[in-house]
Amino acid sequence: MDIPKAVLDEGNSDKLLGLGNRHVLGIVEEYANLCRPEKISVITDSKEDINYVKELAIKWGEEMPLAMQGHTVHFDGYHDQGRDRENTKVLVSDGQTLGKAINTADREKCLEEISGLLRNIMAGKEMLVRFFCLAPVKSRFSICALQLTDSAYVAHSEDILYRAGYEEFRRLGGSSNFFHFVHSSGELENGISKNISKRRIYMDLEGNRVFTINCQYAGNSVGLKKLALRLAIKKSHLENWLCEHMLIIGVRPEGKNRTTYFTGAFPSACGKTSTAMIPGQTIVGDDIAYLMAGNDGRAYAANAEQGIFGIIEEVNPSDDPLIYKALTTPREMIFSNVLIADKNPYWLGMGRDIPVQGRNYAGNWELGNKDATGKEILPAHRNARYTIRLGELENVDQNLHNPDGVPVSGIIYGGRDSDTSPPVLESFGWPHGVFIGAALESETTAATLGQTGVREHNPMANLDFLVIPLGTYIENHLKFGLLLDKPPRIFATNYFLKENGEFLNRRADKKAWLAWMEARVHNECNAIETPIGLIPRFEDLKELFKMLFNREFAEKDYERQFSIRAKKLLERLDRIEGIYRAETNVPEVFKQHIGQQRRRLLEAVEKHKKEVILPSDFE
């Protein structure tokens, strides 16, 4: 390799050579010579190497130890607190377009630009070379991923969130069939990326690689998370499987000895992790699922990850007891962008008083501090997070690392929608379910930079990560259903329905919706057919609420929650139709579903002579 010995010593060089993969060598050599780190450390799966990364994160000040054993805190810059949509681009050649929904840029120009920006970017720094495996090792789901980074926080986060992959790379037998990620935090000022105007996140599908520079927030920097999700969406498209922004859970109904697996797509910060962590269930994953058809005609899902990078806001002993317990006991864990006082972490909605001063994502903080624009700085960021291994949780599912994945019986699509959809709904079948997922709308949250609370279309909660045209993505879902003899039932949930500014449901209610969906999968209860799908009967929910919460579920609450808001639903159909009209390759079947849904809603309005129709009107 053409890398000076002073940069890559013999021990590290041997680790690279030991892989027997010239493509890996070529990549390391290319970026060593472009980014010019002072030193390169190659990290294998050994305890020693992994510890080295952990210690570096502290040594470099990217993480600070907290009072509790194993806990550390990391801060991202004030303007680097969420995913940066604007500077995240898919590189395309020859004027190719991917439709209106996807941010693209010219490949050749961007590669030239990124080469310029990468030149010497690691001068005086150390480059870490890491190997991981997305999804369980030694399985048909496995994807090898190579990470180059000058951030020990990124490398350490990946260690918690992903499966070790040095051995998996060896099994590649020299093949180039892997993803690679090049990250640099760029120039640092007080440990924070300084050149945020030069933040770039470029997805190069042709090269199976992503470049990300001048950023630290994990959603932008950690290659294996949302950057790999985009590359995997392309791969899944070529290989006839689905790569989704989905949780995977084992639902265990009370009094019945069975586990029914569900996957669920929710936009960021819309209840995905808390759904995955509902007590009484088991968790396989909370963010990224690979779905493949099995030989038995069922869909199987595997978690690309083995950890959680979860939102910490509102994690408290009553709403999220399992996570709260995990976050307040000793174990290896990284807090990010919380408030630190006396070496203890504090966050919004933790169910305790928060100190009036400490250190947070804005630096030294005191209550009442304002930022440069005059906006009050909250003690902890609303997108503050924790990074933890799933294996640390008492509710981890025994099949987390099963190379076959888990059989999926139900799929849930859930948006943040204050005025349109009922709390839970079942589709009429796979194609109608695909339509429901494709029509998902949600209000923006702190997980992405920019304004919050803006309603936007977010098909399958996956729009931010699409790298194939929306029409093609929808078609892939329809086709996937055809590979299955027993496709999962598809459901929609909405935890965020409001009336007069108040939520109509308690946070805990989602457990009842899950129980209902699980019972439907086993044909244990009937449902009411409405123009938009099947909704629960009052008697069934009443019984479930009694059993699960020992609470009376009032009929008037049922009516407020489950009435069909025809006018709002028709308005949404118009919005959705407009969006898909501007896209290419939208399957005919999908367009027909829009037409059918509209017709059914208009007929119901006509028949019942009202725009908000009671569930009992459909019985």
Instruction: List 43's β-bridge partners, or say none.
Output: 130
Asked if 515 interacts with ligand SPV (CB under 6 A), we say no
Residues 6+ apart with CB under 8 A from 64: 58, 72, 73, 74, 340
User: Could you give the residue ranges of the DSSP H alpha helices within 286-406?
Assistant: 321-327
> How buried is residue 599: exposed, middle or buried, by Cβ count under 10 Å (0-12/13-18/19+)?
exposed
AA identity, residue 264: G
Contact mark string toward ligand SPV, 435..474, x via CB under 6 A: ------------x---------------------------
Nearer to ligand SPV, 32 or 215 (CB): 215
Total number of residues binding ligand SPV (CB under 6 A)? Answer: 9
Asked if 216 interacts with ligand SPV (CB under 6 A), we say no
Minimum CB distance to ligand SPV, residue 269 (Å): 7
Minimum CB distance to Mn ion, residue 201 (Å): 15
Minimum CB distance to ligand SPV, residue 310 (Å): 8
Asked if 268 interacts with ligand SPV (CB under 6 A), we say yes
State which of residues 261, 309, 335, 562 lies at the interface with ligand SPV (CB under 6 A): 309
Asked if 225 interacts with ligand SPV (CB under 6 A), we say yes
**Which one of Mn ion, ligand SPV, none interacts with residue 225, CB within 5 to 8 A by kind?**
ligand SPV
Nearest to 163 by CA among 387, 327, 390, 331: 390
**Which one of ligand SPV, Mn ion, none interacts with residue 309, CB within 5 to 8 A by kind?**
ligand SPV
Asked if 219 interacts with ligand SPV (CB under 6 A), we say yes
- Where are any strands of DSSP class E within 178-245? 178-184, 188-189, 192-193, 200-204, 209-213, 242-244
CA 512 to chain centroid, in Å, comes to 24
Nearest to 91 by CA among 214, 207, 233: 207
User: Could you give the residue ranges of the DSSP H alpha helices within 369-466?
Assistant: 430-438
AA identity, residue 600: R
Asked if 248 interacts with ligand SPV (CB under 6 A), we say no
Query: What b/e string do you get for 108-134 counting C-beta neighbours within 10 Å, with b at 16 or more?
Result: eebbebbeebbeebbeebbbbbbbbbb
370: which DSSP letter? B
Nearest to 30 by CA among 64, 52, 1: 1
Region of 85-93, 99-107, 219-227, 558-566 interacting with ligand SPV (CB under 6 A): 219-227
Asked if 199 interacts with ligand SPV (CB under 6 A), we say no
Nearer to ligand SPV, 260 or 442 (CB): 442
Asked if 63 interacts with Mn ion (CB under 5 A), we say no
Kindly list the catalytic residues: 270
Cα separation of 13 and 496, whole Å?
54
Residues 253-292 that bind Mn ion (CB under 5 A): 268, 287
Residues 75-134 that bind ligand SPV (CB under 6 A): 83
Asked if 305 interacts with Mn ion (CB under 5 A), we say no
Distances (CA, A) of 552 to 543, 549, 557, 558: 9, 9, 10, 11
Which residue's CB atom is positioned nearest to Mn ion? 287
Cα separation of 616 and 619, whole Å?
5
Which residue's CB atom is positioned nearest to ligand SPV? 219
Region of 194-202, 218-226, 337-345, 469-477 interacting with ligand SPV (CB under 6 A): 218-226
Nearer to ligand SPV, 323 or 528 (CB): 323
Total number of residues binding Mn ion (CB under 5 A)? Answer: 2
Asked if 327 interacts with ligand SPV (CB under 6 A), we say no
AA identity, residue 559: E
Residues 542-601 that bind Mn ion (CB under 5 A): none
Asked if 520 interacts with ligand SPV (CB under 6 A), we say no
Asked if 212 interacts with ligand SPV (CB under 6 A), we say no
Q: Are strands 39-43 and 126-134 parallel, antiparallel or unpaired?
A: parallel
Cα separation of 78 and 196, whole Å?
10
State which of residues 218, 406, 463, 566 lies at the interface with ligand SPV (CB under 6 A): 218
Minimum CB distance to ligand SPV, residue 460 (Å): 13
Sign of the torsion angle spanned by Cα atoms 497, 502, 504, 505? positive
**Which one of Mn ion, ligand SPV, none interacts with residue 83, CB within 5 to 8 A by kind?**
ligand SPV
Place of tokens 């159909």: 573
Minimum CB distance to ligand SPV, residue 64 (Å): 21
State which of residues 287, 305, 417, 475 lies at the interface with ligand SPV (CB under 6 A): 287
226 and 465 in contact (C-beta within 8 Å)?
A: yes
Nearer to ligand SPV, 263 or 530 (CB): 263
Residue count of the chain, please give it: 619
Asked if 345 interacts with ligand SPV (CB under 6 A), we say no
Minimum CB distance to ligand SPV, residue 82 (Å): 7
State which of residues 107, 209, 226, 477 lies at the interface with ligand SPV (CB under 6 A): 226
Nearer to ligand SPV, 217 or 473 (CB): 217
Cα separation of 126 and 40, whole Å?
6
Helix 107-118 × helix 22-35 angle, to 10°:
60
Minimum CB distance to ligand SPV, residue 339 (Å): 20
Binding site for ligand SPV (CB under 6 A): 83, 218-219, 225-226, 268, 287, 309, 447
Binding site for Mn ion (CB under 5 A): 268, 287
